[in-house]
Amino acid sequence: MKKITLIIKLKNTLIKEYAWGYISSRSPQKTLDFVEKGTLKELKNSAYFSKVTKVYLIIPTKIISNLKLDLPLELQNKKNIQTTVEFLAEEYIFQKIEDVKISIIKRGANYVYVSVVDKKIIDEITLSFSEIGIDIDLITSEAMCLPIKKNHWTVLSRDSSKIIKMQDFDCIELKNSLFNVFLNEHQPKLYNVYFQNNREEFDFISNNLLNDPTNLINLNSEKSPYFRYRTKTKSICVLTFFFIISFFLSKISNNIALQSKVDVINKEIKHMAQKDLGNINDSMSIDEIKLGYEAKLIEQAKPKQDFYSRLVELDRILSGLRELHIKRLDYNNDTETFSLHIEGKNNRNVAVLLKKLKNLKILSNTKKNNLDIISFKVLG
């Protein structure tokens, strides 16, 4: 029996604008194209809707926060850690814990990745669907639909922002003005930039979203390992309570022990700072020394900040070349070499255009699998 999955994308949270497309289980290639957009009522009247077997909803990345939480040794072999994870996450959440929904999306030996969603926002979204008879099976963020590669970032470039998927399940959405600062801070070895106007963005959804259940949050089942409502505070188990008490007692004990070593540590810090910074005297505080190190780091980072500013400017220019059907922009941080993958006619004109841009050196212009690949460097 042919199964049809409906993929819905929330494009605008303010005016509730949606885009949607269908994937058939019998399709030889799992590809998706968002060929329709409009209101939910228009969605319900769209083609194939009556034959849909599953409904997936993709929401903007900025609605979902992703956290990596380290598990204490006492909990690393425990199966049910939902309540404890909520306690650990509470430190990083500005809202009240009862106002959010927390989903464990991946668990490692000594850590968990969780997604945190505002309960009110999600309830409003799902209610608007249920009012017209649409039951959502699974929900995820845009960044979760991007590929994961070891030590490799995926960047989805848009007109005013960039969605970044880092190692494992770290996801973030940044304004373009902040992207170069963030990039300079983390310095990934490799990253790919994809552009909003390209169909390949939507291919990610069928190739990654449907094949990897850890990308998904199950909304309809509180028994799901990927999602559960938080119960009241009194449901916290006795073991968790004793863990919390022992945790804080160990903190107090450690603080007392460390206090006796403060003078020795401060003296050693000042000794090291004298070698690194110079002009350090005994009357200077640790905060003043820290400011000195920060100023030095900022000064050392200036050349790279200038370099990454040029990368962002290049990204902006390429994003505007919509008629060129840019497939992908690869960057190797080791060799500082770009590879621009494009398809369509008159692509040789791109190489001519790039030659006219300042601080660029064209290395090669080849063709592979109906794609023109132009390699170049951004000069210092």
Q: Is residue 228 part of a domain?
A: yes
- C-beta separation of 114 from 101 below 8 A: no
- Within 10 angstroms of residue 304's Cβ, the number of other Cβ atoms is 14
In this prediction, residues 18-32 reach a mean pLDDT of 65
H or E element in which residue 192 lies: strand 190-195
Full domain range(s) for residue 341: 321-378
Q: Does 227 lie in the same domain as 368?
A: no
Q: Is residue 330 part of a domain?
A: yes
In this prediction, residues 105-134 reach a mean pLDDT of 83
In this prediction, residues 183-211 reach a mean pLDDT of 63
Q: Which of 310, 341, 366 is the last residue of a domain?
A: 310
| 3-state SS assignment for residue 71 | coil
User: DSSP alpha helices (H): ranges in 260-347?
Assistant: 262-276, 286-319
- C-beta separation of 124 from 57 below 8 A: no
Q: What angle do CA 62, 327, 210 make, to 5 degrees?
A: 55
For 138-180, how does the pLDDT look when each residue is reduced to its tens digit (9 = 90+)? 888 777 777 666 667 878 777 778 888 876 667 778 887 777 7
Residue 42 has phi, psi (to 5 degrees) of -65, -35
Task: Identify residue 353 by its one-letter amino acid code.
Answer: L
Tokens of residue 105, six digits: 């999306």
Q: Does 301 lie in the same domain as 342?
A: no
Q: Is residue 123 part of a domain?
A: no
Q: Looking at residue 215, what is its pLDDT?
A: 45
Q: Is residue 99 part of a domain?
A: yes
For 260-275, how does the pLDDT look when each residue is reduced to its tens digit (9 = 90+)? 555 655 666 666 667 6
Q: Could you give the CA distance from residue 149 to residue 8 in angstroms, rounded to a whole number?
A: 25
Q: Does 226 lie in the same domain as 108?
A: yes
- C-beta separation of 354 from 374 below 8 A: yes
In this prediction, residues 100-126 reach a mean pLDDT of 82
Question: Structural domain tally of the chain?
Answer: 3
Q: Looking at residue 297, what is its pLDDT?
A: 60
Higher local confidence (pLDDT), 309 or 78:
78
In this prediction, residues 46-71 reach a mean pLDDT of 81
In this prediction, residues 93-116 reach a mean pLDDT of 80
Q: Does 301 lie in the same domain as 331?
A: no
Q: Does 370 lie in the same domain as 228?
A: no
DSSP classification of residue 125: H
We report the CATH number of the domain holding residue 81 as 3.30.420.380
Please spell the DSSP secondary structure of 171-186, one letter per residue: EEEEEHHHHHHHHHHH
Q: Does 228 lie in the same domain as 370?
A: no
CA distance readout (Å), 344 to 4, 88, 347, 369, 374: 31, 51, 7, 12, 14
Q: Does 111 lie in the same domain as 72?
A: yes
Across all residues in the chain, what is the average pLDDT? 68
In this model, does residue 101 exceed pLDDT 80?
Answer: yes
Q: Does 329 lie in the same domain as 371?
A: yes
Q: Is residue 239 part of a domain?
A: no
Q: Does 329 lie in the same domain as 358?
A: yes
In this model, does residue 258 exceed pLDDT 60?
Answer: no
For 321-340, how does the pLDDT look when each residue is reduced to its tens digit (9 = 90+)? 656 677 777 777 677 778 88
Q: Does 289 lie in the same domain as 328?
A: no
* Helices and strands per DSSP (H, E), number in the chain: 9, 17
